[in-house]
Structure 1
Amino acid sequence: MIPKASKPSLGIMNLQQGEQKFQLSRHTPSEDLAYFIRHYWIVRWDLTGQEPYLQHVIPNPCVNLLVEPGRTAIYGPGKEKYGHYLQDQGCVFGVKFKPGGFYPFIREPISGLLNNPMSIQSIFGIDPRQLETDVFAQNEEHLMVSHIEQLIRPKLPEQDEQVAFINQIIDHINQKPDLTKVDTLCDYFNVNKRTLQRLFDHYVGVSPKWVIKLARIQNAAEATDLSQRHNWSKLSMDLGYHDQSHFIKDFKSIIGQTPDEYARLTV
């Protein structure tokens, strides 16, 4: 059995350690936006007089609208972990769209956003510097959320049934940590493999094979965070790997370290 966290890390590596450096809150979207948006997230920190802290995050199959001084933009899914330096005082506001949930806003393949952030002005018609000023002028988090929702709501597209279908598929992947093959997924949902791959390219931006791999590695990273003793052979079997070396290779391709190296950092 893979141990479960008391609350999901949602890809934040070493969350228990990180929470000593920053405060993370998540907010549920209004009902009319919830079809497209998973949640809003806000990170605050005050490291005045302390060393900067590098927080790593495992990529996810979601588009994020990020509001941060000098970096405000719309970011597609990544394929490797990424780091964010926290120093002095600061705050970041994020809109995490559901997998596939941003595609109806642009009707262009989300794969085009890979390593290619999109300007918010082209979609929502507001200068990013102005949005930063407006959001961070709010003194309550619910007011930040309200301001962002007022920005998104006029641009809200019609609901696309493919978004719901994609989320059913990804929920299934996340609930089956030993799921290993796209073919198994296609059989379960009765969908042609090429059709599924094309659907994911357009709506999600990454392949179903990558989403399966990512879910397994995120499970592995969370299990490593939660345990003081590590049995890589057993963990790899729990995740459906036939051999430990394949598990280690996949883990390093996303995390950038072997499981053993990662475990030493969590101590």
Structure 2
Amino acid sequence: MHYRLYTPDSSLSSFIKCYWSLEGEELPGTQQRIFPDGCIELVFHYGNLFQKYYPDGTSNFQPRSFIHGQLTRFIEIGGNGRVGMFSVRFQPHGLRPFTNINTHELNDSNIQIADIWGAAGRELENRMLEASDNEQRVQIIEQFLLRQLQPTAVNALVNRGVDMINQVNGAVNIEELSAQLNIGRRHFERQFVAAVGLNPKQYARISRFQYVLSLTEQKRYNTLTDLAYSGGFYDQAHFIKDFREFSGLSPKQYFAEHLPLVKFFSFD
């Protein structure tokens, strides 16, 4: 499977984290678990459609193109033969300036782009699916998004709040953060939810969870206890709770392949 990242133009980098593509072959029925990462995605399938699997054993095919809202828990998806996928990964607060849709209503679900942008969305889908390569797709999507951009919808205060949460990898007190931003907590939370789709505490927890995952990739821990405290968790109970909620697995289950000594620790 070939995964590639593309850098957005500077005129859009405040709203878009990256573009990415995935191409290759995947056996039907193969399932991949996707974790919350604090970002909303605009996805185009120019290969075979992916399936989304549900806890009750059912599944359905994803649309050809759609926006998937913030994840508050893991999902499981899988390819069906030829994989061809192009996606726009928005900054946590990046979607709102391009649409009037309530981002909170998209959480853990998707919406077809024609339901957001109407005829312009249908035309975008056709052009993206018919493009000769992903470099052309980058050009097409950037031209489209620049036409849709509503600069007055940018919330600088929320953007700053997101940056401050990211700087400390989610280890933040929301009351103190609101005070630093010189805004009441409830007012800040309302603005944050409108722009990001999550409340500040939810976003901070996901940011901390993602930081823990990054530590595992860097092998910057010796035991699961070290990992929990390095990730900003003050006790193992919260570490386990967040991990189960976002990944569907206990830390012991997930890190078994990363930490050979895991069998000596009890986290359940």
Fold equivalence (TM over 0.5):
yes
Q: TM-score, with normalisation over the residues of structure 2?
A: 0.79
> Which of 38, 59, 68 is the matching residue for 1:75?
68
One-letter amino acid matched to 2:70? P
State the 1:130 CA deviation: 6.0
> Do the aligned partners of residues 168 and 253 (structure 1) sit closer, same or farther apart at CA in structure 2, a change above 3 Å counting?
same
Write out per-residue CA displacement over residues 70-121 of structure 1, whole angstroms, 9 at most, x where no aligned residue: 3411221010122221342111111122222222333343111123423312
* Conservation of the 8 A alpha-carbon contact between 1:186 and 1:196: yes
* Conservation of the 8 A alpha-carbon contact between 1:58 and 1:254: yes
DSSP-derived class of the 2:110 partner: coil
> Which of 102, 107, 111 is the matching residue for 1:109?
102
> Do the aligned partners of residues 123 and 212 (structure 1) sit closer, same or farther apart at CA in structure 2, a change above 3 Å counting?
same
State the alpha-carbon separation in 2 of the partners of residues 258 and 199 from structure 1: 33
State the alpha-carbon separation in 2 of the partners of residues 170 and 126 from structure 1: 33
* Conservation of the 8 A alpha-carbon contact between 2:93 and 2:195: yes
DSSP-derived class of the 2:132 partner: coil
State the 1:255 CA deviation: 0.9
State the alpha-carbon separation in 1 of the partners of residues 182 and 221 from structure 2: 40
* 1:56 paired residue number: 33
* Conservation of the 8 A alpha-carbon contact between 1:45 and 1:91: yes
Does 1:176 pair with 2:176? no
* Conservation of the 8 A alpha-carbon contact between 2:157 and 2:181: no
One-letter amino acid matched to 1:264? A
State the alpha-carbon separation in 2 of the partners of residues 46 and 66 from structure 1: 18
Does 1:205 pair with 2:197? yes
* Conservation of the 8 A alpha-carbon contact between 1:67 and 1:131: no
- Residues 149-168 of structure 1 aligned to structure 2 (within 5 Å): 149-162=142-155, 164-168=156-160
Q: TM-score, with normalisation over the residues of structure 1?
A: 0.79
* 2:231 paired residue number: 239
* Conservation of the 8 A alpha-carbon contact between 1:62 and 1:99: yes
Which stretch shows the higher mean deviation, 209-218 or 51-60? 51-60
* 1:97 paired residue number: 90
State the 1:129 CA deviation: 7.0
State the alpha-carbon separation in 2 of the partners of residues 107 and 124 from structure 1: 10
Does 1:41 pair with 2:50? no
User: Which runs of no fewer than 5 residues in structure 2 stay unpaired?
Assistant: 50-62, 260-268
Does 1:224 pair with 2:201? no
Structure 1: 4+ residue segments shifted above 4 A? 127-133
DSSP-derived class of the 1:43 partner: strand
One-letter amino acid matched to 2:106? L
State the alpha-carbon separation in 1 of the partners of residues 120 and 96 from structure 2: 21
* 2:246 paired residue number: 254
Of the two structures, which has the highest relative contact order with CA contacts closer than 8 Å and spacing of 6 or more?
A: 1
* Conservation of the 8 A alpha-carbon contact between 1:61 and 1:205: no
Which stretch shows the higher mean deviation, 85-94 or 173-182? 173-182
Which stretch shows the higher mean deviation, 113-122 or 128-137? 128-137
DSSP-derived class of the 1:91 partner: strand
User: Which runs of no fewer than 5 residues in structure 1 stay unpaired?
Assistant: 1-21
Number of equivalenced pairs: 243
* Conservation of the 8 A alpha-carbon contact between 2:240 and 2:250: yes
State the alpha-carbon separation in 2 of the partners of residues 110 and 76 from structure 1: 7
* Conservation of the 8 A alpha-carbon contact between 1:45 and 1:86: no
